[in-house]
Structure 1
Amino acid sequence: MLVDASTPVRVIKFRSETDEVANLQDSVATEEPLEIRLSYDDGSSRQVQNVAVTMRTPGHDNELAVGFLYTEGIIQNAADVLSAEHCFIACSENRENVIQVDMSEGIMPNLQKSERNFYTTSSCGVCGKSSINAIRTVSSYTDLADSDYVSADILYSLPEKLLAHQAVFASTGGLHASALFSLSGELLIVREDVGRHNALDKLIGASLLMNDLPLTQKLLLLSGRISFELVQKAAMAGIRIIAAIGAPSSLAIQLAQEFNITLVGFLRQQRLNIYSAEHRISIS
């Protein structure tokens, strides 16, 4: 469950058709910074390094941190992580907005894998990358047996199932969601955040901590548009079918084609567009 996912605000609502003016209390999605710190043994002493600051909706912060480190290629699996907790002891201020991931003994993080600057916005998880080649992180799961198939009828049913589990979105209208479904349409995990890349990192982080990677025989549903980075993160987790209510970008389609990922956009009102690897979807 999200913590402080919505914030009450005063708002003046105006409706031109009736000239009605109302001064009300409303709810908006909470956005706060999260600093991700990494603690590891370099062979001589324990080091603590600030890895990133991302603007996020509070809640599932340990999953966000672990998912971010995994999709950036900094950690390889759940065994690399000893713990991921808010920094309550070493931090005197804003402790709830600082999370420290402690690496297991003998595990060195691949910090050279990430060329991200220490700040990313909630809307663009790629900001700070030095070049597009730096974010073409290679997935460990590209050579697995491919037997993921889903019917169009199952896909048509997913947006309504997702919306029924977006309680905070219902009250604020301001959160993105990433949802993991079985190929039969069973909802498995939902994560929400003001940042679409954060929502997916939370979902992948939760799966990693449950030792559920790779996410084969499952499909990913995104509540908005499909960006390049979301396809890259899905590829890192072994996801082969991505569907979204919104549109894909040109680079998202290009990367999906490179990784042989089925990419579906504009999934709404019994309609869908297939942009790559259409062999995994049964239309009839």
Structure 2
Amino acid sequence: MTPRPSSPAVTGARVLAYAGGQITERDDAVAVEEPLELRVWDGEKSIPLAVTMRTPGHDLDLVRGWLHAEGLLDGDPVSLGQDPDTPNVVTLHAPNPQRLLASARVGVTTSACGVCGSGSVERLAVRVCPPVWTAGLLSPALLAGLPGRLRTAQPAYDATGGLHAAGLLTPAGELLAAFEDVGRHNAVDKLVGWALGRGLLPLGDHLLVTSSRAGFEVVQKAALAGVPVVVTVGAPSSLAVETAAALGLTLVGFAREGRFNVYAGAERLAWEDTAGGGPGLSSTGS
């Protein structure tokens, strides 16, 4: 059952929802996330200029806004094209494509991804080793409390209310390190860099907890660092769910106030700890 009306911005997911010490299986809605590649036509071929992750819809407006913010329009008349057969590619035609290419600050917000969601995951899978989890089953009650433990290590957020955080924890819930940044991806990068500098990678038998939503990049960075379990306070995107499932990660979203949803990797959780018994015993619609 699709939990929401059909939309290019929304898709459905089946989740295990933990709340009040019980687990239920139900439908959920997740925001669609896919890469969009901007290419420039130089008169003979199209040249990649930038890739960004986005929710499909109003793509040409998105590209125009990006070009304006980067100062690349400069009064030149440009046209944008999008082939229905390759909806994740926008091609820009400009009177002076070489000037535009030379002055562009090329921005790729995901590493070496293709121009479709499945392509991105397949390319990422080549670089990722299977996640290692030997620490036994995780208590749902422990998972539900992890964002609170991360919250104790956010002094800059206390002062400003404007920063994200990423924390690395043991299976017992011990917070090993936490970093804050205005960018959720930056916070994760800081954490992975900290672990790399101490020779801790790959991070098998560790948990990554973030104060943000779970986009593709957060799951990607966790997978490349060998983290098997990702817990986020906010919602996951469709591509994050797809990536976690494909790479064998456990992905937990909406972890707050003693509850959470499991979008992938539920086999790492000790469901017998819940009053409702094993997963799937209780089911409800969205």
Q: What TM-score range do you get, normalising by the shorter chain? A: 0.5 to 0.7
Please tell me whether the aligned partners of residues 148 and 240 of structure 1 are also in contact (alpha carbons under 8 angstroms). Answer: no
1:214 aligned to 199, 202, 209, which one? Answer: 202
- Unaligned stretches of 5+ in structure 1? 1-116
**In 2, Cα distance between the equivalents of 1:196 and 1:222?**
8
Structure with greater Cα Rg: 2
Please tell me whether the aligned partners of residues 139 and 238 of structure 1 are also in contact (alpha carbons under 8 angstroms). Answer: no
Please tell me whether the aligned partners of residues 223 and 244 of structure 1 are also in contact (alpha carbons under 8 angstroms). Answer: yes
AA in 2 matched with 1:185: G
Please tell me whether the aligned partners of residues 120 and 128 of structure 1 are also in contact (alpha carbons under 8 angstroms). Answer: no
- SS of alignment partner, residue 150 of structure 1: coil
Residue 217 of structure 2 corresponds to 229
Q: What's the TM-score, normalizing by structure 1?
A: 0.53
**In 2, Cα distance between the equivalents of 1:204 and 1:130?**
24
Residue 115 of structure 2 corresponds to 131
**In 2, Cα distance between the equivalents of 1:199 and 1:120?**
19
Residue 181 of structure 1 corresponds to 169
Q: After the TM superposition, which residues 37-186 of structure 1 pair with which residues of structure 2 at under 5 Å, given as runs?
A: 120=107, 125-126=109-110, 131-132=115-116, 133=119, 136-137=123-124, 138-142=126-130, 144=132, 147=135, 149-186=137-174
**In 2, Cα distance between the equivalents of 1:143 and 1:186?**
20
Residue 200 of structure 1 corresponds to 188
Deviation at 1:128, TM superposition (A): 9.5
Please tell me whether the aligned partners of residues 215 and 239 of structure 2 are also in contact (alpha carbons under 8 angstroms). Answer: yes
Deviation at 1:143, TM superposition (A): 6.7
Bigger relative contact order, structure 1 or 2 (CA pairs below 8 A, ≥6 apart) = 2
* Residues 249 and 165 of structure 1: CA distance in aligned 2, closer, same or farther (over 3 Å): same
Deviation at 1:190, TM superposition (A): 0.4
Number of aligned residues: 166
- Unaligned stretches of 5+ in structure 2? 1-103, 274-286
Provide the alpha-carbon RMSD of the alignment: 2.5
1:238 aligns with 2:238: no
Residue 252 of structure 1 corresponds to 240
Moved beyond 4 Å, runs of 4+ = 117-121, 127-130, 143-148
Structure 1, residues 70-91: CA drift from partner, whole Å, max 9, x if none?
Answer: xxxxxxxxxxxxxxxxxxxxxx
**In 2, Cα distance between the equivalents of 1:140 and 1:130?**
16
Percentage of identical aligned residues: 40
Structure 1, residues 77-121: CA drift from partner, whole Å, max 9, x if none?
Answer: xxxxxxxxxxxxxxxxxxxxxxxxxxxxxxxxxxxxxxxx85559
* Residues 143 and 204 of structure 1: CA distance in aligned 2, closer, same or farther (over 3 Å): closer
**In 1, Cα distance between the equivalents of 2:168 and 2:180?**
12
* Residues 119 and 223 of structure 1: CA distance in aligned 2, closer, same or farther (over 3 Å): farther
Deviation at 1:141, TM superposition (A): 2.3
Deviation at 1:281, TM superposition (A): 1.1
1:262 aligned to 241, 250, 258, which one? Answer: 250
* Residues 145 and 275 of structure 1: CA distance in aligned 2, closer, same or farther (over 3 Å): closer
Structure that is richer in strand per residue: 1
- SS of alignment partner, residue 273 of structure 1: strand
**In 1, Cα distance between the equivalents of 2:131 and 2:210?**
25
